[in-house]
Amino acid sequence: MKKNKIQNKIKEILQTSIKINNCIIEDQTGMIEKIVQVMVNAYRKGKKIVFFGNGGSAADAQHLVAEFVCRFKKDRISLPAIALTTNTSLLTAIGNDKNFDSIFSRQVEAFVKKGDIVVGISTSGNSPNVLKGIKCAKEKGGITIAFTGSNGKKLSNLADFCFVVPSSDVPRIQEIHIMVGHIVCELVEDILF
């Protein structure tokens, strides 16, 4: 690619991201606020937050757990959060002995208590293991939150609260998910501390 073509592509990607962010400013700030309030209320009641997803969404789950447990911007007490994507022995045992679709639901069954927050992250919104994990969380009395993209109807219809990125472009969805995750972490931290 020539230099001008590369720069034009960079500008195009950034402009697309800006357009998506503007849509979120118009349509999704209320949902982000609801997610923050649900998490704050859960923490005030001594509950925990459980995150999971596949691929890049698994990395986002782990990243956000680190922000809650360690710190975001303030030195404060640790907030209880776990990612169901980190124990390779569990993931491979469940995948092998049960099936891959059960890797999150089996852990939800073990770790989630009534009133805990369960966050399923799926750019497509159609990942069978994420859907099954959210269903199991609801059965256990968990409060379910989903992060997905515009094609994620299955997940958005299943979760109690759903943040939907108005795009089907996976890289843009992932970028927005972590940005909104950081917004949520910052606001939860500000309200609690």
> Residue 44 has what pLDDT?
98
Model confidence band, residue 2 (pLDDT cutoffs 50, 70, 90): confident
- Average pLDDT of the chain is 97
132 within 8 A of 101, measured Cβ to Cβ: yes
CATH number for the 29-192 domain, one of 3.40.50.10490, 3.40.50.300, 3.40.190.10, 1.10.3720.10? 3.40.50.10490
> Residue 1 has what pLDDT?
64
Q: What is the rounded distance in angstroms from the CA atom of residue 3 to the CA atom of residue 15?
A: 18
Q: How many residues does the chain have?
A: 193
Model confidence band, residue 3 (pLDDT cutoffs 50, 70, 90): confident
What's at 7, amino acid-wise? Q
Structure tokens at 175: 């970028």
160 within 8 A of 34, measured Cβ to Cβ: no
> Residue 132 has what pLDDT?
98
- Report pLDDT digits (tens) over 74-117: 999 999 999 999 999 999 999 999 999 999 999 999 999 999 99
> Residue 23 has what pLDDT?
96
- Tell whether the model's pLDDT for residue 126 goes beyond 90: yes
- Report pLDDT digits (tens) over 168-181: 999 999 999 999 99
What's at 186, amino acid-wise? E
Mean pLDDT of 118-140: 97
135 within 8 A of 111, measured Cβ to Cβ: no
